[in-house]
Structure 1
Amino acid sequence: MNLHDYNDLINLAKQQQEPQRLLFVFAKAELPENANEHQRDEFARGEGGTLVPTLCVDRTPDEVDQFSVLVSESEQTGFSWDIVFVAAMDGRAGIRATSEECLQPLKMMMQQIQMGMISNFLAMNRKGDVVHLN
């Protein structure tokens, strides 16, 4: 199944055999410290930059069944973001993973994003649309 937006993600998560817990890492696009003129120009056009994780959270598909719920919750933190990366954790034997079990995978996601290793994650913009990043 090709995912196009947040609704597709939630529907797919709810169809899985094992209960899912969704892992979200919110990231802000920033201009690199030693950016050259070309990089500054790209960034001004909304291209390029470095993605810096600002916030992470885990939720069940039912807790955030609408993208607006996730956005609203993120806005209450005071952290701004441009892209949200998503991964899913399968439960075991019909039991959903706990938030405590998600801590280490969330930390690993944040580290991978900081290193630019984003290909294993679904990326979405602030509208809830899937985006493909280079």
Structure 2
Amino acid sequence: MEISSFADLLEAARAQPQPQRLLFMFAKAELPPGVNPEEKQLFENRQGGALAAVMCVDKLSTELRDFAHLAAESSHTGKSWDIVFVTTMSGKGGVAPSTEEANRPLDMMVQSLRNGNISQYLAFNQSGELVQLS
């Protein structure tokens, strides 16, 4: 199944033979130190900068109704974000991975972002649109 929306992601996760836990890393665009005026202008036009993780959460695929539900929950944290990265963990023997089991993969997601290795994750903007980052 090709995933072109958050709804597609939820549908695909729910269709898997084993229960799925979705891992979310919310990131904020920021202007790194030492940039030149051109880079600053690009950032102000939302075309540059760097992404930094601001929070992570895991949810069973059955715990989410839609992207609006996820965004509404995130707003209760008081932390702003620009992009949310998503991956999944598959259960075994009909049992979904626990939140504790998700901690290490979430830490690895943060480290991947720091290293600029984000191609293995789906990314959605604040409107829930699937985005490609370069």
Global fold match (TM > 0.5):
yes
Match of 2:67 in 1: 67
Matches within 5 A, 1:34-113: 34-113=34-113
| CA deviations over 1:85-130 (Å, ceiling 9, x no partner) | 0000000111100000000000010111111110110000011111
Gaps of 5+ in 1: none
RMSD after superposition: 0.8
- List 4+ stretches of structure 1 deviating above 4 A: none
Tell me which amino acid in the other structure corresponds to 1:111. Q
TM-score, normalized by length of structure 2?
Answer: 0.97
Measured in 2, the distance between the counterparts of 1:122 and 1:81 equals: 16
Measured in 2, the distance between the counterparts of 1:15 and 1:98 equals: 19
How far the C-alpha of 1:38 sits from its partner, in A, is: 1.4
Percent identity reads 44
Tell me which amino acid in the other structure corresponds to 1:27. A
Query: Tell me, what secondary structure is at the counterpart of 2:113?
Result: helix
Matches within 5 A, 1:10-49: 10-49=10-49
Query: Tell me, what secondary structure is at the counterpart of 1:102?
Result: helix
Match of 1:127 in 2: 127
